[in-house]
Amino acid sequence: MRNQSFPEEMAKKPSFYQSVSDSILGPTEDFILGTDDLGTDFEAELAVVTNDVKQMATKAEGANGILLIGLMNDISLRLAQRVEHASGFGFYHCKPKKTLAPFLITPDELGEHWINFKVSLPVEVKWNGAVFGCPDGAEHMMFDFATLVSEASRHRKLTAGTIIGGGTVATYDRDTFGQCCILERRALDMLEFGEERTSWLKPDDRIRIEVRMPDGSTVFGAIDQAYRVTPWGH
């Protein structure tokens, strides 16, 4: 925790960073690094894939630009993130890879669970087989996907195939539904215990991320991958 207040501007407009687009992993592909001293973390996120969207699109135009919805693991290196944050430049080294679940779906396939351009279904994260978090994808999402698409187009058009992540799925009800990333759990550790007790990922740890309908059927298929460390990376 940096002991800083939440910037007021972030509550009014979504913030963005441009992330990796050429290193997207398959749903069961290991994510491999060359070192284990960077604070490796997972982030369960929902995401949309857009059609062509014009510059300065309205929210309605942003909504019409949403073609597909998916599930993503935004792999993050938290200790590298601290360094990059302090530099004043955007994220690069701390966001080396993304993983997508097997299937992308159209919004209509969610039926009543696509509410106000949000996915109202629990996002379950398992760490080495134990449930780490299972919050609802919509309940505490600050900005809906139509707003995100519109805001992303403020000064540029979006090309068909653009992927926009909604940020780590989170909840205010931390005790009931848990978390979808280690960073958030460590922040709660500090509040409760005065120290960060939860470790970062360790080599050979396995992460599973999945969204299910109330009848138990899978929505996007599962991300089920291991974290590996080799001297040469990958």
pLDDT, tens digit, 9 for 90 and up, residues 68-105: 999 999 999 998 888 777 777 778 777 889 999 999 99
Scored b (16 or more CB within 10 A) or e, 43-59 reads bbbbbbbbeebeeebee
**Within a 13 Å sphere around the CA of 204, how many CA atoms are in the beta-carbon half?**
0
Residue 191 and residue 39 in contact, taking contact as beta carbons nearer than 8 Å: no
Q: Is 171 helix (H, G, I), strand (E, B) or coil?
A: coil
Q: At residue 209, what are phi and psi to the nearest 5 degrees? A: -130, 130
Q: One digit per residue, pLDDT tens: the chain, 234 residues?
A: 455 555 666 667 888 878 877 789 999 999 999 999 999 999 999 999 999 999 999 999 999 999 999 999 999 999 888 877 777 777 877 788 999 999 999 999 999 999 999 999 999 999 999 999 999 999 999 999 999 999 999 999 999 999 999 999 998 877 788 999 999 999 999 999 999 999 999 999 999 999 999 999 999 999 999 999 998 766
Chain centre distance of CA 76: 10
pTM for the model: 0.91
Q: Partners of 211 in the beta sheet?
A: 123
| C-alpha to C-alpha distance for 123 and 49, rounded to whole angstroms | 19
Map out the domains of the chain with their CATH numbers. Answer: 39-227 (3.90.850.10)
- 139-149-113 Cα angle (round to 5): 35
| C-alpha to C-alpha distance for 61 and 149, rounded to whole angstroms | 9
Of the candidates 76, 180, 168, 74, the residue with the CA atom closest to the CA atom of residue 124:
180
